[in-house]
Chain A
Amino acid sequence: MRRTAILLGGIALLALLLTPAAGTATQQPPGNSPALFARGRELYQQACASCHGPDPAGQSAYATVPSLKDVGGAAAVDWTLRTGRMPWKDTVGPVIERGRPRFGDEDIRALTVYIGRAVGDAQLPNVQPSQDLVPEGRELYGQACSACHGMNGAGAALGGANIAPSLQNVSPQDVAEAIKIGPGEMPVGGGLPDYDFNSGESTREVNAIAAYVESLKTRPYNRGGAPIGGKGPVPEGFVAWVIGLGALILAARWIGGRS
């Protein structure tokens, strides 16, 4: 009897561990361990509270620093920490700039759990970019994202200290989280019509866009050779003058005389 119970318990545990947390739900509760929560709170007090205030759901310490109450919840925490945008790098440059993550994966999870629970928005998007969604993703991307990020994800200046960052090397998780958050000048929903984090239609659209952004890294995308930054005719003109004409002027100097 006891052996059966242990066996069943073991199978159940195995099943629990091996079952992907995916399925059709958009929610992905980032673990409910109280230890994680406590660690998160400790980290928050050490690293974040000096600017964002002692309570994530309360007021921040400075007028220029947003309260974490409605910046996008757990998704915002996960995104800014994973991409190294937070903690803010020494007041230099716009907050939007990517950097090296300053926390390890476990600590990021802890902070995500803590802050997400504290502000009442603990959901992280669950992205599934599949290859066959790429054409649909391209269309949606053209509608909603290309104006700022460029059709090839090159990114652009947005005036002032703001930029729309390059998407040529981001993860699907980044895409989904950014759409949910609407960080900086980006609108919540990323410009998608009828965006709702919990709706199946929006999830599908986000998956499609993430699939397209993934495709920006593939070979057929840069079939012509070195992309020279992917920023279009300006670097191309630079190459034409410096490398193209430069090489030919050197050739002319070799062939021709000096007097």
Chain B
Amino acid sequence: MDVDREQEQALTADQRKAERAAAVAFTVAILAGIGLFVVYFSGGQTQLEGVLFCLILGGLGVGVALWANRLLGAHEAVEERHELTSGAAGREAFEHALAEEVGPTLARRSVLVKLLAGAGGALGLALLLPVLSLGPAPGRTLKETPWRRGSRLVDETGRQVTLASVPEDGFITVFPEGHAGSADAQALLIHVPAGSLQLPPDRLAAVPHGTHVAYSKICTHAGCPVGLYRATTRSLLCPCHQSQFDVLDGAKPFFGPAARPLPQLPLGLDDQGALIALGDFYEPVGPAFWDREKP
């Protein structure tokens, strides 16, 4: 009892202040807890919940920190480091324990050990087999899209797209009929002023009236949809890494990390004058991969 009283009297003014502050902090925490119950049972509100949780936790934290800093008494302690190593003797004993009862079959050149290794290797390879079931072989799927000769153009809702759907200097996203929303078939139909395209003659022939040109919407850099068409400069900007493609020059990249132009989709008009594709894109769409150039 006497010791306790002595210890109490030993509390300095600083410590008494800290005690009071810690008491206030803990009280704040309790009140915030009550507040949290009220907020939760009256429907909840994210901002209030966050603030009140902060007050509970922070109140507790301030109290405990004050306790740790001021009320525990600063006792610096010293501990000796021990040697980490077991020493050569220790390691020898370990090796001895390993080798002790194993017997002559573990001699390095033993046939049994080699066969064990072989069987282990076979098991290892066999265990890889279920991994191969995780996905199909790529095959030609990266090089083909659902576009075919004669595919009609539709927008993402499946509505047919006509020459009049796109005003001059306008653009829309198009898909082959029956595949609206297809990830690899997505293309941009852009209406450029007549005579402005600078394409080689065979590519220009695949642009109805020389005004309605279509390119793949999948960026050849890292695959984002290139959705930003700039009407006055007639160029496309990809929002992911800022590659920019010149629509009038075969969608060649003129700035940014993309290395290849957006593949063109050849378009034509069928007997009824409706917009159709004349075949798949001229090149595999999207980012490059190892065997992209291989047939």
Contact = CB atoms under 8 A, between A and B. Distances in A.
A180 B93 CA distance: 87
Contacts, number: 76
Interface residues of A, number: 29
B211 interface: no
Contacts of B50: 225
B187 to A, nearest CB: 14
B170 interface: yes
Contact of B171 (A191, A194, A225): A191
Given A193-B159, A225-B47, A188 B167 contact: yes
Contacts of B47: 225
A148 interface: yes
Q: Give the interface size class of chain B.
A: 35 or more
Interface in A129-166: 143-144, 146-148, 156-160, 162, 164
Contact of A158 (B69, B167, B228, B255): B228
B11 interface: no
Main secondary structure of the interface of A (DSSP, over half): loop
Interface stretch (B27-35, B103-111, B129-137, B237-245): B237-245
B148 to A, nearest CB: 23
Contacts of A147: 225, 227-228, 239
Contacts of B229: 187, 191
22 contacts: A143-B156, A147-B225, A147-B239, A148-B228, A157-B242, A158-B230, A159-B230, A159-B242, A182-B169, A184-B232, A186-B231, A187-B170, A187-B229, A188-B168, A191-B170, A193-B172, A194-B164, A195-B167, A225-B46, A225-B47, A254-B69, A255-B68
Interface of B: 46-47, 50, 61, 65, 68-69, 155-156, 159, 161, 164-173, 225, 227-233, 235, 237, 239, 242, 244, 255
Interface of A: 143-144, 146-148, 156-160, 162, 164, 182, 184-189, 191, 193-195, 223-225, 251, 254-255
